[in-house]
Amino acid sequence: MLNGRNNSHNDYTYVSTRGLSVVDYCIVPYEMLKSFDMFEVGSVSVLIEDVDIIGIVDPSRCMPDHSLLSWSMHLNFPVDQNNVPKTNAASLKTKYDLGKKPDDWLNSESFISDIDRILCILEESEANPCDIDKTYESFVNSIKSEMSEKT
């Protein structure tokens, strides 16, 4: 339990007219305790003052009983630079006008062959999320290819 450890700033997590108690917890694996260097319990009244919304919120009418739990953690592991998404990469989206699709849309031999292949893969695959995602992606690509050719 992270409450009360590693340079924590504690307070009660439940404050009501019936009393004070600690009923909200942050549970982490014991091996990870050293990764957390700060834990705070922030009462809603302090949060309202910090954010300066006292005039907007009426503390006498809508004050929650529970507090806000926050913590900092530091993880030490390498990040593969090849897997970092490119933030400036422009994405090209194609819009298709379905009102202009020809009568033979989705009836070509290549599309029917693709769908048969996808169905065989789906029937033979294990029902795990990775296989389903790959099969769905293949299906979407077949539809997009057919739309690009016919519209």
Round to whole Å and give the CA distance between 135 and 96. 22
Q: Of 16, 39, 73, which marks where a domain is finished?
A: 73
Chain-centroid distance, C-alpha 4? 29
Looking at the structure, tell me whether residues 65 and 114 fall in a common domain. no
Which residue would you say has higher pLDDT here, 108 or 1? 108
Q: Flag whether pLDDT at 147 surpasses 70.
A: yes
Global pTM reads 0.38
Name the 3-class secondary structure at 119. Answer: helix
> For 42-68, how does the pLDDT look when each residue is reduced to its tens digit (9 = 90+)?
777 777 777 777 677 666 666 666 777
The proportion of the chain whose per-residue pLDDT surpasses 70, expressed as a percent, equals 68
CA-based angle 37:20:56, to the nearest 5? 80
- Residue 67's CB: how many other CB atoms inside 10 A? 22
Q: Which domain holds residue 99?
A: 93-150
Is 2 among the domain residues? no
Q: What is the overall mean pLDDT for the chain?
A: 74
Which residue would you say has higher pLDDT here, 62 or 4? 62
